[in-house]
Amino acid sequence: MARLSAQPTIAPFPTSETATTTEYRGPFGQVFYDPDNPQDAYMLVNCQEAFVVGEIVCIDQDALATQIGNASVGIVGVIVATVSGSDTAAFAQIEGENATAILTSGVTTAGFLFAPATTDGGYLDLMTSTDANVVHGARCTAAPSTATTPFTSDTQASALVGVGTIYMKRGGAFVYGIAGNLATS
């Protein structure tokens, strides 16, 4: 995994690791850039539940990461290390290209992404003619493969999901929590 630094600060642990909030007592919300790929930025977040690699989260103003959903408001991130439970410090990628993003099987490179109404797994779907929580600043660059099972059980996602590649623009992707529709605008 990437070794991160935000000059002159060095990341407290590698992106491939997590720490409990009792082990890590530093500030959450810090952003670190990968020195080997400065297009990729990672935010140190306080996870509010267990996550799998590639799960899509919404990060609020206090750097608390929760599963993204149709009412989420905040920065969009992709979890880069397995998180065992709440009160865990971990990194979420917020800028650049991520090839482990969990998407529904209907996502293509030709449409806008949205955060579906879900409480069983953090993933993104393809915008259709129905109003939804639009993801601004992110696009699918490689359609998902359903050959990879990102969740540990079928009950963790209510739609057929796979792993694809998304690109989040410089400055990050975000959701407003307001139903809108860019597909027919």
Exposure on the CB side of residue 32, measured as CA atoms within 13 A: 24
The pLDDT assigned to 35 comes to 87
Output the pLDDT for position 149.
64
Q: How far apart are CA 21 and CA 46, in angstroms?
A: 8
The one-digit pLDDT tens for each residue of the chain (185 residues) are: 777 654 556 788 999 999 998 888 889 999 999 988 989 999 999 999 999 999 999 999 999 999 999 999 999 999 999 999 999 999 999 999 999 999 988 888 888 999 987 667 888 988 877 788 899 999 999 988 876 667 665 555 555 678 899 999 999 999 999 888 775 54
Category of 74 on φ-ψ map: left (φ > 0), alpha (ψ -120 to 50) or beta? left
Instruction: Give the pLDDT score at 95.
Output: 97
Please give the distance of CA 162 from its chain centroid, rounded to a whole number: 14
Give the pLDDT score at 121. 80
Element housing 58 (H / E): strand 56-59
With tokens 């959450």, the residue in question is: 28
Alpha-carbon torsion angle 102, 108, 109, 113, nearest 10: -60
Which stretch of DSSP H or E encloses residue 126? Answer: strand 125-126
Helix runs in 8-144, H state only: none
Q: Which pLDDT score, from 0 to 100, does residue 77 have?
A: 98
Burial 140-170 (b: 16+ CB within 10 A, else e): bebbbeeeeebbeeeebbeeebbbbbbbbee
Q: Is 154 helix (H, G, I), strand (E, B) or coil?
A: helix
pLDDT at 7: 56
Is 88 in contact with 123 (CB distance < 8 Å)? Answer: no
What per-residue confidence (pLDDT) applies to 152?
A: 63
Cα–Cα distances (Å) from 120 to 40, 83, 178, in that order, read 28, 15, 21
Query: Do β-strands 173-175 and 5-6 pair in parallel, antiparallel, or remain unpaired?
Result: unpaired
Q: What is the pTM of this model?
A: 0.88
